[in-house]
């Protein structure tokens, strides 16, 4: 197992190099002068030269890339072209919010999607199976911006139960330690803030988790149906093993491999694809940061944020591969 993990880590290195190259070329692949794009058409030549010098755009391309790698090795993601603040400091504030929202959405998707898929497979063609698959199809088909607006309308305006936006109410004060509101609330014993933070997670978590919930349910059902047709399942049933043991002991573990793939991919996608959800719910995460940076043409922030998200996605895929080997020891990579 240890040797397998080392091999997978070695394969990650060229992928990460490719990620850094893509993130670096992001600014340079945009047609036109990056300095002009950042400052706008009314900028003077002196202002353009100043931004080119600050961003190192006057150096040869390979020198810029080497300097970019050197800064990355030191943990420096550069500075915002608009505010001149370090991007690292901004990400430290924003990324925990996105991780918190993504974990809430994926937890909801797994808790609902996996059991729904298992029950649908074990009771194929039943009323529950038909209803759950229709709901899964609707979940995949609904545009997330429409769903988010409907959730705000029903949950906040009609019922008046859930807050429509933000991470905490304006009247709540919370000492920031990790920038994870739930963790900070528990550490400081601020149970009022904990309740409020969880309440603020409901609507955006539901909006973000609906599509992965539907995909996980359909994948779990399909995988379980495939496993339940295997000879060893028929043998277990012929020996008089109860249906519950057949499902949860013999079938589920083997059926989880494609489900783990979907969960890993969806988690990585949600970390970088929560732009619409965070914008609709005014959630101060990385998705909202990317949106604001694009609107302000702050390309150094966009570049660094994409780099961090892509790197996170690579390591999530690594974790999925390691989970494969744990779930099914027959999986071997030469």
Residues 6+ apart with CB under 8 A from 26: 299, 302, 303, 306
Query: Residue 153 — pLDDT band, cuts 50, 70, 90?
Result: very high
pLDDT digits (tens, 9 = 90+) for 256-299: 888 888 888 888 778 765 788 888 898 988 888 888 887 777 77
- Binned at pLDDT 50, 70 and 90, residue 93 comes out as confident
Q: Which has the closest alpha carbon to 287: 18, 20, 72, 100?
A: 100
Whole-angstrom Cα distance, residue 175 to residue 197?
A: 13
| Residue pair 100/180 in contact by the 8 Å Cβ criterion | yes
Q: Is the pLDDT of residue 329 over 80?
A: no
pLDDT score recorded for residue 53 = 80
- Calculate mean pLDDT across residues 113-129: 90
**What does the domain layout of the chain look like in residue ranges?**
87-327
User: Is residue 22 within 8 Å of 317, Cβ to Cβ?
Assistant: no
d(CA 306, CA 317): 17
Inform me whether the pLDDT recorded for 107 exceeds 90.
yes
Token reading at 94: 């924003």
Contact call for residues 118 and 252 (beta carbons, < 8 A): yes
What CATH number does domain 87-327 carry, 3.20.20.70, 1.20.1300.10, 3.40.50.2000, 1.10.3720.10? Answer: 1.10.3720.10
pLDDT at 334 over 70: no
Residue 26 has pLDDT above 80, yes or no: no
Q: Nearest Cα to 217, choosing from 305, 60, 83, 112?
A: 112
Kindly tell me if the per-residue pLDDT of 331 is higher than 70.
Answer: no
Q: In the beta sheet, which residues pair with residue 79?
A: 86
Q: Is the pLDDT of residue 333 over 60?
A: no
Which residue has tokens 């059926």?
Answer: 255
According to the model, what pLDDT value does residue 240 have? 83
pLDDT tops 80 at residue 228 = yes
Residue 284 dihedral angles phi and psi, to the nearest 5° = -80, 65
Cβ–Cβ under 8 Å, residues 217 and 113: yes
Q: pTM (2 decimals)? A: 0.81
């Amino acid at each position: 197992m240890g040797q397998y993990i080392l091999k997978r880590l070695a394969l990650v290195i060229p992928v990460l190099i490719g990620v850094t190259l893509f993130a670096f070329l992001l600014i340079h692949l945009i047609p036109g002068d990056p300095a002009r794009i950042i400052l706008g058409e009314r900028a003077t030549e002196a202002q353009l030269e100043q931004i080119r010098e600050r961003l190192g755009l006057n150096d040869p391309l390979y020198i810029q890339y080497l300097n970019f790698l050197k800064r990355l090795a030191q943990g420096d993601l550069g500075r915002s072209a608009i505010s001149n603040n370090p991007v690292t400091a901004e990400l430290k504030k924003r990324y925990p919010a996105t991780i918190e929202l993504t974990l809430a959405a994926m937890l909801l998707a797994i808790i609902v999607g996996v059991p729904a898929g298992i029950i649908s497979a074990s009771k194929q063609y039943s009323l529950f199976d038909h209803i759950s698959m229709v709901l899964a199809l609707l979940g995949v088909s609904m545009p997330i911006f429409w769903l988010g607006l409907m959730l705000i309308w029903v949950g906040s305006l009609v019922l008046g139960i859930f807050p429509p936006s933000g991470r905490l109410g304006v009247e709540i004060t919370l000492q920031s330690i990790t920038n994870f509101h739930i963790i900070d609330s528990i550490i400081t014993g601020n149970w009022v803030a904990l309740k409020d933070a969880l309440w603020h997670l409901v609507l955006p978590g539901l909006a973000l988790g609906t599509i992965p919930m539907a995909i996980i349910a359909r994948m779990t059902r399909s995988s379980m149906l495939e496993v339940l047709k295997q000879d060893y399942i028929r043998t277990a049933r012929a020996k008089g093993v109860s249906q519950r043991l057949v499902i949860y002991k013999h079938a589920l573990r083997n059926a989880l491999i494609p489900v783990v793939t979907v969960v890993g991919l969806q988690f990585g996608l949600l970390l970088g694809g929560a732009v619409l959800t965070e914008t609709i719910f005014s959630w101060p995460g990385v998705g909202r940061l990317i949106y604001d940076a694009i609107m302000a043409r702050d390309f150094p922030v966009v570049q660094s944020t994409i780099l961090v998200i892509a790197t996170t996605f690579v390591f999530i895929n690594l974790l999925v591969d390691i989970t494969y080997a744990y779930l099914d020891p027959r999986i071997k990579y030469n």
